[in-house]
Structure 1
Amino acid sequence: MAAFIDILKHIGAKILELTKHFAGVTADAQLEFDMGSWLTIVLVILCLLGSACWAASIAASRRHPLWLHFAIGFVVPWIYPIFILFKMDIHGEAERRRAEQEALQKKAEAEAEKQRIQEQLGKERELQNAESGIEGKQWNQKYFEKIGRDDEGRNAGPWKAVISGNEIIVLEILETEPELVYVVFKDSKGTPKKMRIPYARIESWNKTYDY
């Protein structure tokens, strides 16, 4: 507001100075004073200055360069002030809003990722509990159908199993039957082979990540 008042004072001083100058020139030239013409000129100047001051006031209130918009408001009277009144944002406001939006988006993505990891860990714990080699566990077709594939239908292996006292690494469960499970396992040389394992021979069957 103080800047706006300073502008008006400066403009008033200039108008007064110009008025005195032209009055002196008119007197020296002994010209007749045409009140109508002078009033028209004064009104036009006041109209232009009013437009310029309004544009400058709007710009200053929204943290934009004052004199630049004063000049534009003077050249494009009234249309320009009305335009920026509705269209001009506070300087830096768009960047601030964009930064806030990006921060909120990153926070939401982080929360979603955290939730996904927690859900995945929960599923793995459930699977490990289901696969833990508890003594007296009943191995059957339903159990191996459940653990053979993950939620997306992919192979859920590998597993470390003990069959009749021998430890093997089962790479994939191919098929389950009422009395046995058909698997791909890795032999002592690391070669994948297929084998049918009766449930009665299984001593333990656990998920493994190291094979």
Structure 2
Amino acid sequence: MNILIVDDEPAIADTLSYALRAEGFATECCTLGGEALLRLQAGAIDFVVLDVGLPDMTGFDVCRALRRTSDIPVLFLTARSDEVDRIVGLELGGDDYVPKPFSPREVASRIRAILRRLHPEPRLRATTTAQDTARFTIDRDGLRIAFHGACLNLTRYEYLLLALLLERPGRILSRQQIMESVWQDGGESLERTVDTHIKTLRGKLRTVRDEEIILTHRGLGYSLAAD
């Protein structure tokens, strides 16, 4: 697992790199956003730890450019702790957000949590890699979901969100429950992120068939319409 650390403060990058190598990861370091994008284009990077405040461009701009071509996991580092910055980072496709100063061991732990969430261990009760309903087919090994036979072009969070709703159609999940299951470290302050992803997910479902699949329960949360 090769992690790219993008931070213009050598003391922070070196300390974090040392801690991650001690945890069994391989690391590389960049100080500029443009340099990081070039390195990422070359491949062989599995995870990005990205400082928001870079000299040439913001970490948000780097993530925005990266998300045009890749779903590689991104953890933001920042000296800012405003709620709006956390929301922006997550809505751009970031997987987590750690304010400075931070514990390198905490960062390593969060990285492992993200990787476990993205590549979960198979459930013992599962008998096949695919789960079928009347409308959906879920390939959990390939992280793909088809709707009425059409494979949906989903982002990582859209896949995790829809897969969660498909576990039990008709069950109402609150925004907080969704945040805790999909984003893991999310809280009530980030509930707008859930609404944003529900909206984009509904749009992608409607391009296949104009059905009301994801139901809104005012004051309660969301559910998937039962077959």
TM-score band w.r.t. shorter chain: under 0.3
Instruction: Please report the TM-score for the alignment, with normalisation by the length of structure 1.
Output: 0.23
Larger Rg: 1
TM-score w.r.t. the length of structure 2 is 0.22
Structure with bigger helix share is 1
